[in-house]
Structure 1
Amino acid sequence: MDFKRAHSEEQRAQRRRQILDVGAAMLTEMPVAKVTLNELSRRVGLAKSNVLRYFESREAVLLDLLDAETRQWLAELEQLLQPAEGTARERGDQLAAVVAGSLARRPVWCDLNSAQASVLDHNVTVEVAIKYKRASRETIESMAALFLRYLPELGTQDAFRLVATTLLLASAAWPYSNPPQAMLDAYAADPSVAAMRTDFTDLLTRSLAVTITGLLVRHDDAPVGAVALSPAHPSVS
């Protein structure tokens, strides 16, 4: 790839997009842990110092990719979550199944989301952190609105609680459902421990269904429509 120094903002944006495209392609081939700045620079065709002109660190690249993946997932989820009939419990179970199934089809998002708190939130400046958190707040509000539209019985505050729980459960379930080779070999060698291997879709579906049922039963929220979506909601990292 032939890179020349970018002089205009449009050229800089194009360079950033090219770097992100290469990073996205790498994530389809390898886990987040194996994506290095050296390899990214090599594939882009730039010296590492030149890549750092556009992104301050590997983590800054990955945070941008996580935001893009999240927005793509929400666009898909909006199409999947069409109005449905049934009791609140039935629609809650359907919501859990749809969300879990859609995330299972997005391994790159799952891997990035699982690495966010322990990896991606590190080695970035305050400016990058603020940029990502602002973008994240927008997607969280959009997700809560989707949940509330599909299951209005939740109420606004519980819709945000469900978003927080969804992100945390997905983050924890993904690495447990995708163990390293040593664990896979152990499951194959000893049938008595094979049952301990977890299935991501099943685990997330059941966990979200239980969470939704609990929120509906407790229902310590304000009446639907009484509170507008606003920044004053439970925080989600």
Structure 2
Amino acid sequence: MAAMAFQRARTDEQRAQRRRQILEAAAGMLSEMPVAQLSLNELSRRVGLAKANVLRYFESREAVLLVLLDAEVKDWIAELERTGAPGEGTSRERGDRLADLLASSMAARPVLSDLLSAQAAVLEHNISAEVAVGHKLAARESVEALVRLVARHLPELGVEGSVALVETTLLMAMTAWPCSRPSEAVQAAYASDPQLAGMRIDFTDLVRRTAAVTASGLIARQEAAVRTRPTA
């Protein structure tokens, strides 16, 4: 990709445009490579700026990627809200459909899943408290939107149960993604022995199963609590 021609930004509008161009270049890189391979040096080359000048707009590589993560999560939630209308059926049936929707939609967004998997261990380091606050506020807003979506599909979960389902599903996705992307050496090991091949993790299946079992378990526990609640 040819480097962009940049002139010094002198106004707020120009600076905002520079930030957008840096983010667009980084997003393009993530369509070609995993988060771990995206370097500030290569990003600087693609936008036609010295690394020191890129750092005038974003304090670190991680700060760039956190903005992209927040945007990816918002786009994902908007997609869920457009395509995931609650259906009819038992709580088990609705929970299974919701689990499939969450898992399949995340699998179809590898950039989102890759960024999520790097969030705690990588992206939330090498940033200032100011950047961390902005990111966490955006994350809280997104989690609240996901909780509302889950509650529409499974109102019997209530707020507490919906929060638990969202947290469990996201944490499983963050863990399962890198595990489902083995190195070439591990892929060769799987290919060499059918018994080892059975250890390979399917991201969609694992996230779907976790979300479905969590939803069923939470509902069962709530129903059991109601049955054993003492009457007045």
Are residues 1:150 and 2:163 paired? no
Q: State whether structure 2 residue 182 is matched by structure 1 residue 179.
A: yes
Q: TM-score if structure 2 supplies the norm length?
A: 0.93
What is the deviation of 1:198? 1.2
Once the two structures are superposed, the pairs formed by residues 1-237 of structure 1 within 5 Å of their partners are 1-219=4-222
Q: What is the CA distance between 1:168 and its match in structure 2?
A: 0.3
Displacement of 1:83: 2.4
Give the CA deviation at 1:186: 0.6
The offset of 1:26, in angstroms, is: 0.5
The CA RMSD measured in Å over matched residues stands at 1.2
Gaps of 5+ in 1: 224-237
1:228 aligns with: none
Q: Secondary structure at the match of 1:160?
A: helix
Partners in 2 of 1:164 and 1:201 — Cα distance?
17
Q: Normalization by structure 1: what TM-score?
A: 0.91
Q: Distance in 2 between matches of 1:190 and 1:139?
A: 42
In the alignment, structure 2 segments of 5+ residues that lack a partner are: 227-232
- Shift in Å, 1:121: 0.5
Q: In 1, Cα distance between the equivalents of 2:15 and 2:143?
A: 29
Q: In the TM superposition, what is the alpha-carbon distance from 1:153 to its structure 2 partner?
A: 0.8
**Residues 86 and 94, structure 2, Cα contact 8 Å, conserved in 1:** no
Query: Secondary structure, in 3 states, of the residue corresponding to 1:85?
Result: coil
Structure 2 SS opposite 1:123: coil
Contact 2:73 2:112 (C-alpha < 8 Å) held by counterparts:
yes
User: Are the counterparts in 1 of residues 113 and 173 from structure 2 also a CA contact under 8 Å?
Assistant: yes
Find the counterpart in structure 2 of residue 232 from structure 1.
Answer: none
CA deviation after TM superposition for structure 1 residue 185, in Å: 0.6
Counterpart Cα distance in 1 of 2:95 and 2:29: 36
Distance in 1, Cα, partners of 2:218 & 2:135: 29
Paired residue type of 2:171? L
Q: As a proportion of its length, which structure holds more helix? A: 2
> What stretches of structure 1 move > 6 A for 4+ residues in a row?
none
- Secondary structure of 1:4 counterpart: coil
Shift of 1:160: 1.1
1:170-195 deviation digits (Å, cap 9, x = unpaired): 00111111111111011111112111
> Partners of 1:44 and 1:182 in 2: how far apart?
34
Counterpart code for 1:18: Q
8 A contact 2:5–2:47 mirrored in 1: no
**SS of residue paired to 1:179:** coil
Size of the aligned set, in residue pairs, is 221
